[in-house]
Amino acid sequence: DAMVIQNPRYQVTQFGKPVTLSCSQTLNHNVMYWYQQKSSQAPKLLFHYYDKDFNNEADTPDNFQSRRPNTSFCFLDIRSPGLGDAAMYLCATSRGGTPSTDTQYFGPGTRLTVL
């Protein structure tokens, strides 16, 4: 089945130690997104790639970076994780095209713990 895959499902890191989260997709979608979801809150968009074009949300901290080396993979890098960065990180993909009808499909998420 075509899907969005996130690895690892659970990640533990230390305060200030860089960490990378991974997302891959077999849907051959043009757009990939990273969301942050803190406990009992709605997901918050951090950034997205449309093909190779990177689009950062205005309020995404500089501590968060992303890379998309090819169509299938996208990475989220947190350069110096703080305690406030502990959250579920959700990757999503969409085909692209007309914005109002484009549908996003989510992966299972990576739960990040910062010690």
Partner 1 sequence: GDSVTQMEGPVTLSEEAFLTINCTYTATGYPSLFWYVQYPGEGLQLLLKATKADDKGSNKGFEATYRKETTSFHLEKGSVQVSDSAVYFCALRGTSYGKLTFGQGTILTVHP
Among 13, 50, 75, 95, interactor with partner 1 by CB under 8 A = 50
| Distance of closest approach, residue 80 Cβ to partner 1, in angstroms | 26
Sites for partner 1 among residues 28-47 (CB under 8 A): 31, 33, 40-43, 45
Judge contact between 114 and 18, C-beta under 8 A: no
* Pairwise CA distance, residues 115 & 111, whole Å: 13
Q: Does 101 bind partner 1 (CB under 8 A)?
A: yes
110-114 and 10-13 beta bridge pairing: parallel
Q: Does 22 bind partner 1 (CB under 8 A)?
A: no
Considering only CA atoms, give the Rg of the chain.
Answer: 13
**Opening angle at CA 8, ends 3 and 9, nearest 5:** 75
Positions touching partner 1 (CB under 8 A) are: 6, 31, 33, 40-43, 45, 48, 50, 55, 57, 88, 90, 92, 99-109, 111
